[in-house]
Amino acid sequence: MIVFLIKRLANAALVMLVVALMAFMIFRFVGDPIQLMVNEQTSQAERDALRERLGLNESVVMQYLRFVGNAVQGDFGISYRNQQEVMSLIAERFPATIELVLMATIISLVVGVPLGVITAIHRRKWYSEALQFVSIIGVSLPSFVIGILLILVFSVMLNIAPAFGRGDVVSIGWWTTGLLTPSGRAALILPSIALSFYQITLVMRLVRAEMLEVLRSDFIKFARARGVPAWRVHYSHALRNCLMPVVTMTAMNIGSLIAFALITETVFQWPGMGLLFIQAVTFVDIPVMAAYLCIVSFIFVALNTLVDITYALIDPRLRNSKA
Amino acid sequence: MTVNLTSPGLLTRIRQSDLWWSFTHQRSAVLAAILLTVLIVSAFTAPLYAPQNPYDPAQLELWNAEIPPIWLEGGQWPYLLGTDTQGRDILSAILYGSRISILIGIASVVLALVIGIGTGLVAGYYGGIVEDALMRVGDILLSIPTILIAILVSAIVRELLPPSLRDVGAGGVLVLAIVLSGWVQYARTVRAQTAVERRKEYVQAAQLLKVPARRIMFRHILPNTLTPILVAATLNFGMAILTEATLSFLGIGMPPSQPSLGTLIRLGNQFLFSGMWWIVLFPVMQLCLLVVSVNLLGDWLRDALNPKLR
Amino acid sequence: MILRTTLLAGVALACLATTGTAQTLRWGAARDINSLDPYSYGSTFTISFLNHVYEGLVRYDADLKIEPALATEWEVMPNNIWRFKLRQGVKFHDGAEFTADDVVASLARVSHPDSPLKGNLPAYKSATKVDDYTVDIELVGTYPLLLNDLTNIHMFDAGWLKEHNAEVPTDVAKKVEGYPTFNANGTGPFIVESRVPDSKTILVANTGWWDAPKHNLERIEFTPISSEATRVAALLSGEIDFTEKAPVQDLPRLAAAPNVKVMEGNELRTIMFGFNFQDKLHNGEPNLFKDKKMREAVGLAIDLNLIRDKVMRGKSRVTGTVVAPAIPGYDPALDTPPAYDPEKAAAMIKELGAEGYAFEIMCSNDLWVNEEEICNALVSMLTRVGLAPRLNIAPNAVQQVKLTNGEADMFAFGWANEPMLDSYSILLQTFQTKSDNAGVFNWGGWSYPEMDKLIIAASTELDREKRLALQSAALKIVKDESIMLPFHQQPMAWATSDKVESVVQLSDNKGRHWLTRMAE
């Protein structure tokens, strides 16, 4: 067991090192950092001194090691654009993205699971087919289109939800939350719905597929033969067996959602990490780009590793497989 | 008594197959296939009949800007779906834009398939260090959300290209960006299958007969692994089109001089509220029709090929 | 009965009288400010926002005339020294007194070799304190426009600068974050309560302001909303009260909405396109724009009226000269745009052997009004006369570096002549040959000695009539040589919600919310 744990963690560490390498390569190869930092009237001597000070004359390996060392301590340098420390910029926006993602995940589960059950149980009914059709549309529409349409209908035409921003937020220590104010909660509605769309269809389809499989299994047949009422068969017996894969998939998709949130944040001007990243890309603000890459990858890797380890704890068969 | 000893021709085999039966009996699949064919054919034959070549700046007349669709007041022939603020005919734009979107989608899926299958076969067949190394690379790529890889590759390669190549190479950059994370899925599936097949007797027999490795991989093992790949590829085609549209919408995809559907939506989005809804609505509809038909086909294929549901 | 109604009315009136104070102006801007430090970027927008927090020695009044602000009077003394008497009893937001030390420290900071605003005080030599409320500013020579320059130079507190290690402008290299980048301490009508970059900046009213407030605001919430569609949606749904850049294409819809008011006008900023004058284009090919005939041909190929009607929706003012009519030095005789003649342009291009000539037009997509559309239209028009232009467009922060390095073959340019409000500004900073203090924005690298002579003569001419005549003569050379092709003065469009009662809009397009009143 311990061996497995160590293997998984070592794996995760290796992945992070490679990601850090990629982030570091961005620094070196895209544009000249000196060029991007000084104004045009700086003399050549000053530029050389700056180059020396930032350690750009050292070997690549040294620079990489220094980058990793700094990154682990959370020091990603200063944003070229705002002249503010990158880590504090990201820390400011982190709560916004996380709240959005959590909300979207909850919505996707609350809506997706029941819908999945319905489409599985009532396979041939018209509303089942209709729901499936709608789910395909949901997967086919790009999320920015969904966002724009939501704004058009609910914000401009019906005026029942705000179209941008986060509303009033309350600071609890380092975290800022919009959940404690009415305007904050109202502002969460449209963006989280837009972000959850794709996830809802995924959950729905997964639940449906799993339910269909479970409903064929023997113990369900026996339960029916014994006269257990249908609803009990479906919910107590069948559904419970489906939830595991759903929870797993959802947990692993949180990292993906964080990444996809950047589209939603762009449409709704939600002040999260994703919007920061997109702005960094358009402004070629490399420290922010590199930091975002490292942080989001870290979350992704951490979540996957956690899920893997949890699975292994539950299912001993998985412990001895190749990591 | 005569016995028919010739094996049936290809067409007959198809018509008699399970697959065809399930296809013709699933209404949505047939509709989707028809729709997709119409979209693809119309997009690729566009130069023959489209009112305008929207990529030629000389053909854009500012005089004709902001004309509404032909059924509304102010509409003008030949601008059936109206024009945008540059005088670009919307119908021509979505046809040419679909062409780009489809091409990028096909190119990225094909390339990802080639790389993925090749890698998977090699990794599964040879095993050992080769397998470890290749799969490790794949793992690392999977550790980064695909949209992030796509954005980073797109943004960085564009920065590195000389300015004259930036517009021309935008399509290639997009394909690269999508492929970079797309091949892993195929590689994993193929590797797993290959690792299983490798131990089977027919492969061992072929090895004993000194059949070259490549032949074994391609002619014997590969056909057995194709089923899940096919389904994944179809669905990924839709994803690739959506990814390209998203990147173009964010501004790092196809430039306005060669707009894809995503670029058109981005450009038209500014005018959503000013009453010129046709500039954004038609590209959106075209994009949705395209991806919906692909997804419907992919869904049908998955259900049809799934042994458990037969 | 009557007594009761009167009493009720009286109480109601009393309530009305006291409920004027809790007023918040929610400002949805097209872009964020770059930092809280007014010296860190030469961006008119940032400086005009920070004018709510910081102030200069003098300022412009509602008629764009100069009036005293932190300085009460001034006199020109011999040896090019200007003596300023400072206003007494002014306090910074942290309570410190405003004295001559502060002026000296601020001027030293803005004229520091590392300061991006160095070029905004071209004639400055040094400043000395005479007594606590008198400062002498020494110039390098006779210079008529010092007051114009000083309207944009904001005053810091010397002690605050020293305490926070900010006496020298921000140095990114030292990895010491500039304290003034996200902290502010000025003398102005508003205090910065909080700032989250790219998200929200909150200002609250400064009750200890030295001037009598004409506004009734308690708070300003400044939020950048770069997406035009989102900004319009926010206005229509009442989520924001003010924007300084209402998208031109949405103006009819906004004007038709019952809860939105639109204020349009033409601002002072003129949009023009400049050319590269170096020997080679950026891609190494020989540069044909050095030939005046080539530039003229390009000018003839552009249908300015069509751009005004279609791209700018009829809201811009087509111009034939590079300054707006309200700018001193403007000569109506020069304001004659070339007549659109594509056949002649095509013929000239053929003659010059420039058919199929490939070059790059550099534009930004977030700077001037509808810049992307203008540039797209330009590409289309130039292709039609036989050239092969390519558009290079990106956010201004990315383009800025390339432009100042002279990498553009043809580029979009805008100049409002602010804060000087005199054509000397564009002549000095753009058209004069590039040197230490001059031609900072001479991105094409042109050089016309006869024009330089006129501009230098104007810089020391104290007689206004004579000076303006010299400047007009310089502008004539600009037009004759087609150094830049002027297009139009930009439209400005502000939009307010029905919560805003009145807002002052001047042709310099700067928000001045210390004059704004909300409905009570």
State yes or no: pLDDT of C450 exceeds 90: yes
Nearest 10 degrees: CA dihedral of C9, C10, C16, C17? 160
State yes or no: pLDDT of B130 exceeds 70: yes
CA distance C392 to C200: 31
Nearest 10 degrees: CA dihedral of B92, B96, B101, B106? 140
Residue in C closest to A266 by C-alpha:
C227
Condensed to tens digits (0 to 9), the pLDDT of residues C459-498 reads 888 888 999 999 999 999 999 999 999 999 999 999 999 9
State yes or no: pLDDT of C176 exceeds 50: no
Give how far A170 is from chain B: nearest CA, Å. 30
Q: At what angle do helices B170-198 and B128-142 cross, to 10 degrees?
A: 140
pLDDT at A41: 47
Nearest to residue A29, comparing CAs of A4, A63, A2, A76? A63
Name the pLDDT band for A76 (thresholds 50, 70, 90).
confident
Read off the DSSP letter of residue B63.
G
For A70, C301, C347, C376, C469, the CA distances from C294, given in Å and listed in that order, are 54, 11, 11, 20, 29
Give mean pLDDT, residues B166-190: 83
Q: Which residues of chain B from 18 to 57 reach within 8 Å of chain A, CB to CB?
A: 28
Instruction: Identify the residue among C35, C199, C403 best suited for mutation to test binding to A, counting A beta carbons within 10 A and taking the highest.
Output: C199
Give how far C520 is from chain A: nearest CA, Å. 23
Of C173, C394, C395, the CB nearest to A53: C173
Residue in B closest to A322 by C-alpha:
B132
State both tokens at C368: 């001037």
- Asked if the Cβ–Cβ distance from C250 to B273 is below 8 Å, we say yes
- Asked if the Cβ–Cβ distance from B288 to A137 is below 8 Å, we say yes
SS3 C332: helix
pLDDT at A316: 63
Mean per-residue pLDDT of chain C: 86
Helix (H) or strand (E) holding C72: strand C71-77
pLDDT at C394: 80
Please name the residues in contact with C61: beta carbons below 8 A apart, sequence gap of 6 or more. C67
Of B28, B245, B272, the CB nearest to A148: B272
Give mean pLDDT, residues A245-254: 84
Give mean pLDDT, residues C403-412: 88
For residue B273, the chain C residues in CB contact (below 8 A) are: 229, 232-233, 236, 250, 253
Give how far A224 is from chain B: nearest CA, Å. 21
Phi–psi pair at A125, nearest 5 degrees: -70, 160
Give how far B48 is from chain A: nearest CA, Å. 29
SS3 C247: coil
pLDDT at B308: 59
SS3 C262: strand
Identify the residue whose tokens are 């102010």.
B74
Of C249, C283, C311, the CB nearest to B274: C249
State yes or no: pLDDT of C349 exceeds 70: yes
For residue B299, the chain A residues in CB contact (below 8 A) are: 136
Query: CATH 1.10.3720.10 occupies which residues in chain A?
Result: 87-273
Give how far C238 is from chain A: nearest CA, Å. 9
- Asked if the Cβ–Cβ distance from B156 to A30 is below 8 Å, we say yes
Please name the residues in contact with A199: beta carbons below 8 A apart, sequence gap of 6 or more. A104, A105, A108, A112, A250, A253, A257
Cβ pair B197, B123 in contact under 8 A: no
Of C177, C233, C405, the CB nearest to A83: C177
Please name the residues in contact with A20: beta carbons below 8 A apart, sequence gap of 6 or more. A64, A67, A68, A71, A294
Phi–psi pair at C294, nearest 5 degrees: -65, -45
Spatial strand order of the sheet with C134-139 comes to C71-77, C81-86, C134-139, C124-131
- Asked if the Cβ–Cβ distance from A300 to B155 is below 8 Å, we say no
Q: At what angle do helices B222-250 and A126-140 cross, to 10 degrees?
A: 60
Condensed to tens digits (0 to 9), the pLDDT of residues B231-272 reads 888 888 988 998 888 888 887 788 877 888 888 888 887 777
For residue A83, the chain C residues in CB contact (below 8 A) are: 35, 40, 170, 172, 177-178, 181
pLDDT at B201: 84
Asked if the C-beta of C360 comes within 8 angstroms of chain B's C-beta atoms, the answer is yes
pLDDT at A33: 60
- Of A11-15, C289-293, C493-497, give the lowest mean pLDDT range: A11-15
**Contacts of C among chains (3+ CB pairs under 8 A):** A, B
Read off the DSSP letter of residue C194.
E
Q: Give start and end residues of each alpha helix (H) in C52-205.
A: 100-110, 146-150, 158-163
State the SS3 of chain A.
Answer: CHHHHHHHHHHHHHHHHHHHHHHHHHHHHCCCHHHHHCCCCCCHHHHHHHHHHCCCCCCHHHHHHHHHHHHHCCCCCECCCCCCEHHHHHHHHHHHHHHHHHHHHHHHHHHHHHHHHHHHHCCCCHHHHHHHHHHHHHHHCCHHHHHHHHHHHHHHHCCCCCCCCCCCCEEECCEEECCCCHHHHHHHHHHHHHHHHHHHHHHHHHHHHHHHHHHHCHHHHHHHHHCCCHHHHHHHHHHHHHHHHHHHHHHHHHHHHHHHHHHHHHHHCCCCHHHHHHHHHHCCCHHHHHHHHHHHHHHHHHHHHHHHHHHHHHCHHHHHCCC
Give mean pLDDT, residues C90-119: 87
For residue C170, the chain A residues in CB contact (below 8 A) are: 83
CA distance C421 to C269: 11
CATH level 2 (architecture), domain A87-273: Orthogonal Bundle (1.10)
Of C178, C239, C397, the CB nearest to A163: C239
Of C118, C175, C200, the CB nearest to A78: C175
